[in-house]
Amino acid sequence: MRVRKGFTLIELLVVIAIIALLMSILMPALKRVKEQARTIGCLANLKQWGFVCAMYTQDNNGKFWPGLHSTGYWWLYQLEDQLKDWKANKTWFCPTAKKPIIDERGVTAPSLNIFNAWGIFTSSRTCNITGKTYHPGPNGVAGSYSINGYVLTIPITATFEGGVSAKDGWRTPNVTGAGNVPLFVDALRFDLWPLETHSPAEYEFTAWSDNNMARCCINRHDGFIGCAFLDYSARKVGLKELWTLKWHKSFNTMGPWTQAGGVVPSNWPEWIRPLKDY
């Protein structure tokens, strides 16, 4: 008689158990690798935006874009057409947030949170200071990064959003401590003006609001966001670390949301409480 060779039921169960054990070990590692890849891609994009800023300031007497003070600081409309185009210029998008909240058919997603990009903006804007009209390009403008609005060059007698005087803006990258001044960050809008008193969002997936710090205090990279600085470096920034950066010249880096300013764990919303303190 011929004896058939094969696995017994117990042997199959042992193999399945071993595979399940290996998967439980490997899955967290794979997740970390994927997140690391997204973070690296994000920082690479931010470095590219740093190069864009460097070239612009070199061609414009060392100054950043005019703020178009009376039209909502639409600095991005002043970019060259190939840079505006979100379809052609993929550096607009963090790998974690590639989809604009308003799609090409005009359909709006339920809320703008950490996994959405802002845009698509398609309407033109006219500056009533210069009278010049700016256009968004043939495909509109969309993205998942924001400029630190305090770097924009606004009239010296004006004020930034939130009431900060123009004299406290940066205007140029040639400043002391540039490595601690945010230039571009992961955010829910293309511009922002944080104040040291601005609180984090109450919930992790809170939609975009007028709270400027909450626009960028978003959990896109496992407790961090990507940030390019005024010295054109780029690195991960912890969410609680955002309050220790020098957003404008008079920004208090020891304000109420820092350890130096007396913040305690219970002050933080529950979703951000476990993250590293600064």
The per-residue pLDDT for 55 is 95
The per-residue pLDDT for 7 is: 63
The owner of tokens 């005019």 is: 66
Confidence (pLDDT) at 126? 79
- Of the two residues 117 and 73, the one the predictor is more confident about is 117
Best CA proximity match to 145, nearest among 72, 227, 217, 68: 227
Tell me, what's the pLDDT at 106?
A: 74
The dihedral formed by the CA atoms of 136, 100, 43 and 205, expressed in degrees to the nearest 10: 140
Write down the mean pLDDT value for the chain.
89
Tell me which of 61-70, 89-98, 166-175, 242-251 is least confident.
61-70
Residue 213 vs residues 56, 88, 141, 185, 277: alpha-carbon distances, Å: 26, 29, 22, 11, 17
pLDDT at 71 exceeding the cut of 50: no
Residue 70 has pLDDT above 60, yes or no: no
pLDDT at 189 over 80: yes
Q: Each residue of 21-37: pLDDT tens digit?
A: 777 776 776 677 788 89
Task: Note whether 194 and 214 are within 8 A (CB).
Answer: no
Of the chain, the percentage scoring pLDDT greater than 90 comes to: 62
Q: Helix/strand/coil (H, E, C) string of 141-190?
A: EEECEEEEHHHCECCCCCECCCCCEHHHCCCCCCCCCHHHCEEEEECCCC
Q: Which two tokens stand for residue 89?
A: 């210029």
What pLDDT is recorded for position 1?
A: 53
Grouping H, G, I as helix, E, B as strand and the rest as coil, residue 192 is: strand
Q: What are phi and psi of 267, to 5 degrees?
A: -70, -30
* pLDDT(74) > 90: no
Q: In what order do the strands lie in the sheet with 116-121?
A: 99-100, 116-121, 141-143
